[in-house]
């Protein structure tokens, strides 16, 4: 039976048809966009991991230089179009001063034998802190002289911003290098588990993510957070087992005065020597094992991995809140799909600080080589006085062989 359709009904039919056609297309585009972003992030992640392995292969000194370069590249002073007198010059001047202070301290602390051989280095090491403070005072005076009446507020704002940036970036990159000099394993494992957590949290969130984790990062999910935690603990435990077997990874960096080269040779510390552990009764009944052989560092890796998975992401949340405050998506667009270099290091710095504190609190003990380096920097009369004091102390405790007492 024929029927009439008015113009309004035709318009409604066309609108409904067009809307039903658009829904699958928009959904298809969204899926393609997600997979394209996943592909870009995956390829560039492999490229960055390859670069990380290349740096490790080049040795601890090359790794330290890489950290220094990263510290320089992270000098996030926002220049914009501010025409402030001497602002750019002073910003880089303060950056150089702070790096000189921190890395000069590290050089004197870890490589005393090298410092002792060079007369200029002895002078710089002896008066290092005074020189650093004098350099800072020069910059401070230059800043005061550069003040212009119409820019007072902005100049002090940028002066404070410069110091906060230096505190966050340079200080923590300095801790990364100190961790590295304790042994490459303290550099490789913390960085690797943060990378692992970032990748696994992204993968679990991409495939299984349903529940939002925090409003600061809408794409973060509980599924990704939990999946990243367990994956990172397992990865860190296995990586710790593999690296603990290599002297190159476990020995602190030192300077050999005979060969004039930096070395990583030593007797492996106790935490990198295989030991037998008795399992709790519950695990004995479940696994049918009474004991297991582990490197003590594997147990430490569980705490490092737990921090990287549970607390480390808050460094990323902090960066997300910071970017939202300034209405920017990323700190830069250097790495497609990842943002800038700082976007990749937001969790690394927090992890480096924790690792440094962990080593100082639970790992590091008295270091005979550092004590010897400090003794060699004393005057001959002071060295002789210490020798007699130590000799008397050892004799009172009957720790000297009879031949030494007779020779005296």
Residue range 100-150, pLDDT digits in tens = 998 888 877 777 667 777 777 788 888 999 999 999 999 999 999 999 888
Cα–chain center distance at 220: 22
Q: Which of 17-26, 65-74, 202-211, 288-297 has the lowest mean pLDDT?
A: 17-26
- Any domain includes 47: no
Helical H runs in 182-295? 185-208, 222-243, 247-250, 281-287
| Residue-level pLDDT at 132 | 95
Question: What are the tens digits of pLDDT across the range 215-237?
Answer: 878 888 999 999 999 999 999 99
Q: Is residue 312 predicted with pLDDT exceeding 80?
A: yes
- Any domain includes 302: yes
Residue 246 zone, left/alpha/beta (φ > 0; ψ -120 to 50; rest): beta
Question: What are the tens digits of pLDDT across the range 255-287?
Answer: 776 776 777 888 888 999 999 999 888 888 888
Same domain, 249 and 295: yes
- Any domain includes 338: yes
Nearest to 313 by CA among 198, 223, 235, 219: 198
Same domain, 170 and 202: no
Same domain, 276 and 289: yes
Of 134, 165, 180, the domain-final residue: 180
Of 327, 346, 364, the domain-final residue: 364
Same domain, 173 and 187: no
Between residues 144 and 1, which one has the greater pLDDT? Answer: 144
- Any domain includes 17: no
Same domain, 232 and 357: yes
Q: Determine the Cα–Cα distance for residues 7 and 43; give it in Å rounded to an integer.
A: 54
Question: What are the tens digits of pLDDT across the range 70-87?
Answer: 655 554 444 444 567 788
Same domain, 238 and 170: no
| Residue-level pLDDT at 404 | 54
Same domain, 195 and 120: no
CB-hemisphere CA count at 13 Å for 118? Answer: 12
| Residue-level pLDDT at 58 | 72
Q: What's the pTM value of the predicted model, to 2 decimals?
A: 0.76
Of 116, 147, 180, the domain-final residue: 180
| Residue-level pLDDT at 273 | 94
| Residue-level pLDDT at 317 | 82
- Any domain includes 370: no
Same domain, 353 and 248: yes
Average pLDDT taken over every residue of the chain: 79
- Any domain includes 254: yes
Question: What are the tens digits of pLDDT across the range 43-66?
Answer: 777 777 777 677 777 767 666 666
Q: Determine the Cα–Cα distance for residues 312 and 349; give it in Å rounded to an integer.
A: 9
| Residue-level pLDDT at 281 | 84
Q: Determine the Cα–Cα distance for residues 250 and 305; give it in Å rounded to an integer.
A: 18
Q: Determine the Cα–Cα distance for residues 289 and 287; give it in Å rounded to an integer.
A: 5
Same domain, 168 and 208: no
Q: Is the distance from CB of 46 to CB of 337 less than 8 angstroms? A: no
End-to-end CA distance of the chain: 128
Reported as a pLDDT band with limits 50, 70 and 90, residue 22 is very low
Question: What are the tens digits of pLDDT across the range 159-183?
Answer: 998 888 888 778 888 888 889 888 9
Q: What's the number of domains the chain is made of?
A: 2
Q: Determine the Cα–Cα distance for residues 187 and 253; give it in Å rounded to an integer.
A: 12
Task: Kindly state the helix (H) or strand (E) to which residue 293 belongs, with its residue range.
Answer: strand 291-294
Nearest to 180 by CA among 95, 101, 255, 106: 106
Reported as a pLDDT band with limits 50, 70 and 90, residue 9 is very low
Domain around 161: 59-180
Task: Select, from the ranges 20-29, 189-198, 357-366, the one with the highest average predicted confidence (pLDDT).
Answer: 189-198
Query: Which residues are CB-neighbours of 265 under 8 A, at least 6 positions away?
Result: 247, 251, 254
Q: Is the distance from CB of 293 to CB of 275 less than 8 angstroms? A: yes
Same domain, 279 and 156: no
Q: Is residue 305 predicted with pLDDT exceeding 50?
A: yes
* DSSP category for residue 361: I
Same domain, 174 and 196: no
Task: Select, from the ranges 22-26, 109-113, 329-333, 353-357, the one with the highest average predicted confidence (pLDDT).
Answer: 353-357
Mean pLDDT of 346-363: 89
Q: Determine the Cα–Cα distance for residues 70 and 342; give it in Å rounded to an integer.
A: 9
| Residue-level pLDDT at 151 | 86
Q: Is residue 8 predicted with pLDDT exceeding 80?
A: no
| Residue-level pLDDT at 77 | 44
| Residue-level pLDDT at 337 | 54
| Residue-level pLDDT at 401 | 77
Residues forming beta bridges with residue 275, ordered by sequence position = 294
- Any domain includes 199: yes
- ∠ CA 324-326-330, nearest 5°, is 65
- Any domain includes 49: no
Q: Is residue 21 predicted with pLDDT exceeding 60?
A: no
Same domain, 188 and 175: no
328-337 contacts: CB < 8 A, separation 24 or more? 331/76, 335/44, 335/48, 336/40, 336/44, 337/37, 337/40, 337/41, 337/44
Reported as a pLDDT band with limits 50, 70 and 90, residue 397 is confident
| Residue-level pLDDT at 306 | 96
């Amino acid at each position: 039976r024929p029927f009439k359709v008015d113009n309004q009904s035709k318009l409604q039919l066309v609108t409904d048809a067009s809307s039903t056609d658009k829904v699958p297309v928009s959904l298809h585009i969204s899926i393609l966009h997600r997979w394209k972003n996943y592909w870009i992030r995956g390829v560039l992640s492999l490229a960055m991991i390859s670069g990380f392995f290349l740096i490790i292969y080049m040795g601890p000194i090359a790794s330290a230089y890489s950290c220094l370069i990263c510290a320089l590249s992270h000098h996030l002073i926002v220049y914009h179009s501010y025409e402030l007198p001497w602002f750019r010059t002073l910003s880089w001047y303060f950056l150089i001063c702070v790096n000189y202070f921190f890395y000069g301290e590290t050089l004197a602390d870890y490589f005393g034998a090298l410092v002792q051989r060079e007369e200029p280095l002895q002078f710089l090491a002896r008066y290092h802190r005074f020189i650093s403070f004098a350099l800072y005072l020069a910059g401070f005076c230059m800043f005061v002289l550069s003040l212009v009446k119409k820019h007072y507020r902005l100049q002090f704002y940028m002066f404070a911003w410069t110091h906060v940036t230096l505190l966050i970036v340079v200080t923590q990159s300095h801790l990364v290098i100190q961790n590295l000099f304790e042994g490459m394993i303290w550099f490789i494992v913390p960085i690797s588990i943060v990378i692992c957590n970032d990748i696994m949290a992204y993968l679990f969130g991409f495939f299984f993510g349903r529940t939002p984790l925090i409003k600061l990062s809408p794409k973060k999910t509980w599924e990704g957070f939990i999946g990243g935690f367990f994956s990172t603990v397992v990865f860190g435990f296995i990586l710790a087992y593999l690296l603990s077997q290599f002297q190159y990874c476990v020995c602190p960096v030192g300077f050999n005065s005979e060969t004039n080269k930096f070395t990583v040779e030593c007797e492996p510390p106790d935490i990198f020597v295989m030991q037998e552990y008795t399992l709790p009764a519950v695990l004995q009944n479940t696994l049918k094992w009474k004991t297991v052989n582990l490197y003590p560092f594997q147990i430490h890796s569980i705490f490092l991995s737990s921090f990287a998975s549970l607390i480390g992401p808050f460094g990323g949340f902090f960066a997300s809140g910071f970017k939202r405050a300034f209405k920017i998506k990323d700190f830069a667009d250097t790495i497609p799909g990842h943002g800038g270099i700082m976007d990749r290091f937001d969790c690394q710095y927090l992890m480096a600080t924790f690792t440094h504190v962990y080593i100082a609190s639970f790992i590091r003990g008295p270091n005979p080589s550092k004590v010897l380096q400090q003794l060699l920097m004393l005057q001959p009369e002071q060295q002789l006085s210490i020798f007699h004091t130590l000799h008397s102390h050892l004799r009172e405790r009957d720790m000297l062989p009879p031949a030494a007492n007779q020779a005296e």
